[in-house]
Structure 1
Amino acid sequence: MRGRLLLLLVLACFPLATYGALDDEKHALIQELFPKATDIRDRLPDYPVYPVYQLQELIGYAYESRDISPLQGFAGKPVSMLIGLDSRGRFTGIRILNHHEPVFLHGLGEEPLFEFIDQYEGRSLTEQIVIDTSGSRSGKSPDGNVVHFDGVSKATVSVLIINDTVLSSALKVARKKLAGFTQEAPTRARTDFYQPLSWAQLIDRGYLGHWQISPAEIEQKLGSPLVDYPDAPQPDPGEPFTELFFGYINAPMVGHNLLGDEGFERLKEKTGPDAQILAVMSRGLYPHLPDDFTPGSSPDRLGLQQNNLSLDIRDINVFDQNIQITADGMPELGRTTLFRVGGNAGFNPGAEATLKLGVTLRKNHLVADSTELEIPMAFAQDLFEAVEVAPRPEDSRQPVWIGLWKERWLTISLLVLSLTLLTVFFARQRTLRRHPKLIHRFRWGFLFFTLFFIGFYAQGQLSVVNIYTLFLAIWDGFSLNVFLMDPVLFILWIYTFVSLFIWGRGLFCGWLCPFGALQEMAAWLGEKLKFRQVKVPEKWHRRLILLKYPILLVLVGTAFYSLELAEKLVEVEPFKTGITLFFVRYWPFVVYAVGLLVVGMFIHKFYCRYLCPLGAGLAVLGKLRLFSWLDRVELCGKPCQHCKNSCGINAIHKDGRIDYNECIQCLECVVILKDENQCVDKVLEQKRQRQARILATDAG
């Protein structure tokens, strides 16, 4: 009996003993992140991190990102990473454990992903990391605390999600485990605290911050006199090198006095109630923003830190005739800026913070001297009141997708404008069909726009991947933020979904699919080169068009069983090769995509008709359409077959009925039906009218 009790006790304790145990593979990876480690311990029971020691000294922590910030990736599953963070808040490295990002797995390859995450090594949470997908710059800005990372131009959404995962998880670990990163009691501006004050009174009472540095002091920091820098302006007697003023606009005492009552209210309407706004104003030889600063962007020269963490500040560019800084007694200023304060760290306005001003002066085109000036920022405490419960940083910060939408505002505007034009065109198709040349030119013009702007430039190729990603997101816990990360795809999906109930699948497949437009052009080229056009027999055509439906079911079903297998099978779509990667890919994929286009030069839109799983999915939803826009007449199919013979995609039955599941809304049949020289019904009607006129003439 005692032996049995002892055995039961051991078995009961066994899960506790093995919880968080470190396997050999993970131990080896952590050792790579901390080469000097002599002791790597099991995961802590109170927080999912692995302590790392050198002898008896704690040198940092390793952790899996999915245990801290399991943000969904572009494929609907989190990117799992092992991240090393030393005791000073610096990244020692990152290793990818598992991911399902299709553009890296079966597109660009994983090398660009590994090159991207390698940039984190040696970087600190005290730095502001900005992802640059243009590839034009990388490294730390010489003027401030901003670090530019080279992004991956074809994988913008994926790298931004990875960056958000890395920074948000590291912040949580730092605040939980690292000394110096703890957050003070949160505060907010008092909404009932206001009285009219002059500029001087705001400064005297500590409601506005004031700091300056003289030319002599900056020369001492740089180690050279200003005359050694040809491009640096020389000071007048008594002129400061830099003089800064700064204030927390959300506090009515500051906002009302600097902007006026109307300006303060207009600013709140424009930025929203949750935006935290910091005003920074400067004068002197070296303002806080350079002359070539881009409005609406983050400054390179100026940074903001709090609790050893870097905060994101971004110009909100809202100054107009009704929003201006015009306080009573305000001196003449060189630059005035309103910054939105955000980032993963969260901003506590009533706690001390530090503005960092980077100064870089060039002696010549090869040599430059730099220094970083730290400016204490603390406001009078009577501006603020304590908040009982601290907001979670991941809830209080601005979502990443908002910045993406702002950055791509021009692309979004052009896309929305084009979709509006297309909607008007389709809504008035029964009027416009009287002008066949107009319809023909508009269609081809829009196809070129779809291919080159929506496809090649904006990367707006919808895919069946988006369908099973949606299903997986619903299955695992839906988050709209993931889909908002790509504004072009989001807008196209919303528009396509709505249009399915009005026009069916044809509006997307015939007008908005970049690879579909490429097929259309290949078919036109085949006709111009006088290739023999193959007409698939009706019996086989009706069977082959069903092939894309089981392909869709296999792909969606496989995604729930094995996402890795689904990612391989989805290569039945040539979209990634032809549109996303411009045919620059491993040769079998290129041969497949080009082969489909070549076949399409003989069989009109072969892939669309018989293989496309995306088209199958849209056709299923398209069955719910509310209208049948394409008119038919009594003679259609009985006996007239002109529309059927002219339909390149063979979406018209012999009896004249239109198969909306296959129709791509090219509107050719609409034009024929209205053409008095093509439509048999119109020709016979004209013949009857001529005979009636002859009979009337004879009778007269």
Structure 2
Amino acid sequence: MLRRLLFMVLLAWPLSGYSSELPDETREVIQALFPSATVIENKLPDLPVYPVYQLQELLGYAYLSTDFTRLPGFAGKPITMMIGLDTKGRFTGVKVLHHHEPVFLHGLGEEPLTEFVAQYEGRSLTEQIIVQASSRSARNATDNQVYFDGVSKATVSVLIINDTVLSSALQVARNKLAGFAQAAPTKARQDFYEPLSWQQLLDRGYLLKARLSAADVEDKLGRPLSDYPVDLEPLPGEPFTEIYFAYMNAPMVGRNLLGDQRYQAFMERLNGRGKVMMLMSRGTFPHVSADFVPGSTPSRIGLHQGQLAIEMRDLNWLEPGQAIAASGAPPLEIMNLFRVGGNAGFNPGSESTFHLDISLPRNHLVTDNARFTVPVRFSDDLFEAVEVQPGHQSNREPMWVGLWKERWWQIGVLVASLTLLTIVFARQKTLTRHPKLVHRFRWGFLLFTLFFIGFYAQGQLSVVNIYTLFLALWDDFSLNVFLLDPVIFILWCYTFVTLFIWGRGLFCGWLCPFGALQEMTSWLGQRLGLRQVKVPERWHRRLILLKYPILAGLVATAFYSLTLAEQLAEVEPFKTSITLYFVRYWPFVIYALGLLAIGLFIHKFYCRYLCPLGAGLAILGRFRLFSWLERVKRCGQPCQHCKNECGINAIRKDGRVDYDECIQCLECVVILRDQNQCVDAIVQNKQRQKQTRILATDAAGA
């Protein structure tokens, strides 16, 4: 009886941590992440994690992501997740509890988000998780690389989720899991340098070398290299591969390999952001393949430190054919600079392990694989200990930097197009003397705006961006939130600057994808011979004020409830039409199509009367420095030609341009420059002709 009682006490021992303080909702979520759990303890005092047990066996830990990192999402607020991590560093699951990502809340729905986070279950921190578009998700996958299917319309959101999951899990693993603890951190000694030859760098352990012969590879593969159709047999005495490893942050290594001038330029460009390894190789099988894409992650070689897979990404900073400055260097066929670390970080003074994967196809059906592991430990002379303050995190490259690099060509095209548009507007008085040129350029640019900026690059600005700005200013402002989408950021910067030069019209008339779609709809209505409705002037002047209370109501609501404000922002049809290509729940589609249908009869109906974004831009546009649209004496008195031709009705009867409503289509400027359209020019021409005839008559009489 006593033994049975003692056994029951021991069995119940883990329950001592149990308290009713753990909310039922939290308990249910954790139970779903650990289905076999019998005991879920309260949050630990030393680290905000919930220990999870099956009887007395520790299964792992559950924790809230926001207790470890508050990386803001696309809407400026962090994404809250409950994450489960077992004792071996494997994810038992990820559950999104709360978020404000507009594309999921009021666009794609929650299903794509749920499907994305479901990919973490069973994956380990020892793997390098890379988020790619679904069409590229399996590209170049190796044993330690896992490619997740991304969500094409929510790239920024899923990258933020991935960064949040991995960075928080690493903090938990390093504090609670065996085998994940970090050694004492080190950094390169910046005062340690002397000129050395290539051989001296090798002899002192400042530069490391790994060499594989053909016999080594054949022994691992179990067959001779001659069995493979690709000729990889090296010449006698030459290696199958010979790889050199160098830690470039150390001046002793970097200065000797690059030379003083190039090393200084390298360090200035690096600017303290990250750690860089240089890999150099020669032989028939270099460390990167012939189809390696500069700036990407290598598939042949990988890096581990402890149990963690360390991210490696090519910097593409070396010049073609760049030579090694150290004397006595052998001829090297391939050289790459790799930024190393990522979420896992990298301790250069501790031992790490490189692995080289060799995959040789025997035929189109059979491929033989072999992995060679190379331990790497540089000389301790290169490093010094780092004193880390509590709560300090390593200085790694911000997420937005990688996003800008990934979209470099989109950024280039956008910047070039904005430069061209600026030149056209700056030279509008000259260019508008050529009406056909202006009209062709305008329609060409509108097509570019709709299909490239809108549908492809997803550069549709929204009133939700204004929420994000106001809420960021209200809380702790961070520019990183706005840098996450380079196309949106560049468009906002350009729009903000040009508001004070040309007013709101440059964006609304040229850079808004939905505005371009409306313009095309209006053109179609006219070509179909549909009767165009002219809103009476007195009603037009009242209706254009509607968008201002809509804007005020949305902004005020955002401070009360961001979720409600995002729902009310569906007054904008941008998400339905531009972001989701009209593939959405039918009421939203009917609403967007209804606005376009009205636009067949009333030119740019939504822009004129309902757009809260246009209202916000119009308010700022009142502070413009110039009034570029020239008016002359007879404009409005008596000439009404420009007013009658202005589709958006931004010209008053007295000839004045209403810059709050003008979309800068330049049509009135074209009319003013056209000697056959402008009444003032026609009258002046007639007066000159009359005067010429009088002078001619007087001359003939004389």
Q: TM-score, normalised by structure 1?
A: 0.93
- Tell me the amino acid that sits aligned with residue 646 of structure 2: C
The corresponding residue for 2:9 is: none
Q: Deviations over 1:558-586 (max 9, x none)?
A: 22222222222111111111111112222
Corresponding residue SS for 2:135: coil
Structure 2 residue aligned with 1:296: 295
Distance 2:697 2:598 in 1: 58
Alpha-carbon spacing, 1:27–1:366, altered in 2? closer, same or farther (3 Å) = farther
2:108 is the counterpart of 1:111: no
Mapped contact 2:58–2:87 kept (Cα < 8 A): yes
2:96 equivalent to 1:96: yes
- Corresponding position of 2:306: 307
Residue 56 (structure 1) aligns with = 56
Q: Secondary structure at the match of 2:433?
A: coil
Moved more, 120-129 or 497-506: 120-129
Shift in alpha-carbon separation, 1:33–1:225, aligned structure 2, 3 A = farther
Q: How far does residue 237 in structure 1 lie from its aligned partner after superposition?
A: 4.7
Look up the equivalent residue of 2:185 and give its one-letter code.
Answer: P
Query: Aligned-pair distance for 1:293?
Result: 0.5
After TM superposition, give the deviation of residue 623 of structure 1 in Å: 1.1
The within-5 A match list for 1:558-637 is: 558-637=557-636
Shift of residue 285 of structure 1? 3.9
- In structure 2, give the amino acid aligned to 1:354: T
Partner of 2:520: 521
Contact 2:174 2:182 in 1 (8 A): yes
Instruction: Give the 3-state SS of the residue equivalent to 1:107 in structure 2.
Output: helix
Counterpart secondary structure, 1:344: helix
Paired residue for 1:329? 328
How much does 1:262 deviate? Answer: 2.5
Map of 2:341 onto structure 1: 342
Contact persistence 2:360–2:369 (CA under 8 A): yes
CA contact 1:145–1:358 (8 Å) conserved in 2: no
1:84 alignment partner AA: G
Contact 2:432 2:673 in 1 (8 A): yes
Q: Equivalent residue for 1:7? A: none
> Within 2, Cα distance between the matches of 1:629 and 1:465?
30
CA distance in 2, matches of 1:241, 1:287: 9
Instruction: State the shift of 1:543 in Å.
Output: 0.7
Q: Mark the CA change 1:322 to 1:332 in structure 2 (over 3 Å): closer, same or farther.
A: closer
Amino acid at match of 1:607: Y
Q: Which amino acid aligns with 1:49?
A: V
My pick for the range that moved more, 378-387 or 305-314, is 305-314
User: 8 Å contact 1:127–1:310 — kept in the other structure?
Assistant: yes
CA distance in 2, matches of 1:21, 1:299: 48
Q: Distance in 2 between matches of 1:678 and 1:413?
A: 39
- Give the match's secondary structure for 1:356: strand
Which residue type is aligned with residue 607 of structure 2?
Answer: C
Q: CA RMSD in A?
A: 2.1
Q: CA deviation at 1:458?
A: 0.9
3-state SS of the aligned residue for 2:146?
A: strand
Rounded to whole Å, the distance in 2 between the matches of 1:402 and 1:539 is 51
Distance 2:501 2:321 in 1: 44
Query: 1:426 deviation in Å?
Result: 0.6
Answering whether residue 504 of structure 2 is matched by residue 505 of structure 1, we say: yes
**Counterpart residue number, 1:148:** 147
- 1:376–1:450 Cα change, 3 Å: same
SS of corresponding position for 1:256: helix
2:422 aligned with 1:423, yes or no?
Answer: yes
Tell me which residue corresponds to 1:645: 644
1:321, distance to aligned residue in structure 2 (A): 6.4
Give 3-state SS (helix, strand or coil) of 1:289's partner: coil
1:124-173 CA-to-partner distances (Å, cap 9, x unmatched) read 2222221112522238823x522211111111111111111111111111
**5+ long unaligned stretches in structure 2:** 1-16
Further displaced range: 155-164 or 37-46: 37-46
2:407 and 2:323 map into 1 onto residues whose CA distance is 27
CA drift at 1:390: 5.9
The one-letter amino acid paired with 2:276 is I
Deviation of 1:24 after TM superposition, in Å, equals: 2.1
Quick one: distance in 2 between partners of 1:619 and 1:89?
A: 53
Q: Whole-Å Cα distance in 1 between the matches of residues 20 and 456 of structure 2?
A: 47
Q: What's 2:694 paired with?
A: 695
Partner of 1:39: 39
> Counterparts of 1:189 and 1:71 in 2: how far apart (Å)?
29
Q: CA offset at residue 382 of structure 1?
A: 0.8
Q: Is the 8 A contact 2:345 2:394 kept in 1?
A: no
Q: Whole-Å Cα distance in 2 between the matches of residues 561 and 135 of structure 1?
A: 40
Aligned twin of 1:9? none
Tell me which residue corresponds to 2:315: 316
After superposition, residues 151-300 of structure 1 pair within 5 angstroms as 151-231=150-230, 233-300=232-299
Once structures 1 and 2 are overlaid, which stretch shifts more, 62-71 or 23-32?
23-32
Identify the range of structure 1 (449-458 vs 51-60) with the bigger mean alpha-carbon deviation.
Answer: 51-60
Partner SS, residue 630 of structure 1: coil
Q: Deviations 1:584-638 (Å, cap 9, x if unpaired)?
A: 2222222211221111110000010011111011111111111111111122112
Unaligned runs of 5+ in 1: 1-16
Q: For residues 274 and 588 of structure 1, what CA distance do their matches in structure 2 show?
A: 48
1:386-425 → structure 2 map (5 Å cutoff)? 386-389=385-388, 394-425=393-424
Q: Tell me if the contact between 1:622 and 1:661 (Cα under 8 Å) persists in the aligned partners.
A: yes
**Corresponding residue number in structure 2 for 1:14:** none
- Flag the 1:120–1:20 CA change in 2: closer, same or farther, 3 A: farther
Q: Which residue in 2 is equivalent to 1:76?
A: 76
Letter in 2 for 1:457: Y
Matched residue SS, 1:120: coil
Q: CA deviation at 1:475?
A: 1.9
2:13 maps to none
Determine the structure 1 residue equivalent to 2:6.
none
Q: Does the aligned pair in 2 maintain the 1:138–1:148 contact within 8 Å?
A: yes
Q: Cα distance 1:425–1:394, how it changes in 2: closer, same or farther (>3 A)?
A: farther
* Matches of 1:579 and 1:416, distance apart in 2: 21
Query: Residue 451 of structure 1 contacts residue 517 of structure 1 at CA under 8 Å; is this kept in 2?
Result: yes
State the alpha-carbon separation in 2 of the partners of residues 552 and 176 from structure 1. 48
Contact map agreement 2:18 2:41 (CA 8 A) in 1: no
Matched with 1:457 is 456
Alpha-carbon distance in 2 for matches of 1:587, 1:220: 63
Distance 1:464 1:20 in 2: 44
Cα gap change, 1:478 to 1:19, in 2 (>3 Å): farther
The residue aligned with 2:85 is 85
Residue 39 (structure 1) shift: 1.6
Partner of 1:314: helix, strand, or coil? strand
Distance 1:57 1:369, change over 3 A: farther
Which stretch of structure 1 is more off in the superposition, 35-44 or 59-68?
35-44
Report the AA paired with residue 694 of structure 1: R
Q: Which moved more, 1:655-664 or 1:475-484?
A: 475-484
The CA deviation at 1:239 is 4.5
Further displaced range: 324-333 or 64-73: 324-333
Partner of 1:379: 378
- Number of the residue aligned with 2:28: 28
- Aligned counterparts of 2:393 and 2:648: Cα–Cα separation in 1: 50
* Count of residue correspondences: 683
More displaced 10-residue stretch of structure 1: 555-564 or 396-405: 555-564
Is 1:130 aligned to residue 121 of structure 2?
no
Alpha-carbon distance, 1:229 to partner: 4.0
Aligned to 1:467: 466
1:121 aligns with 2:157: no
How far 1:444 sits from its partner (Å)?
1.0
Equivalences for residues 345-356 of structure 1 within 5 A = 345-356=344-355
Supply the AA of the counterpart residue of 2:592. Answer: A
Q: Which amino acid aligns with 2:68?
A: I
Cα-to-partner distance string for 1:336-389 (whole Å, 9 max, x where unaligned): 211122301222211211112223233333333334332211111111122223
Deviations 1:647-694 (A, max 9, x none): 000001111111100000001111111222222211221222222223
Secondary structure of the 2:67 match is helix
| Aligned residues of 1:20 and 1:45 also touching (Cα < 8 A) | no
Residues 462-491 of structure 1 show CA distances to partners (whole Å, capped at 9, x for unaligned) of 011111111122222111111101000000
Q: Which moved more, 1:384-393 or 1:165-174?
A: 384-393
Change (3 A) 1:33 1:336: same
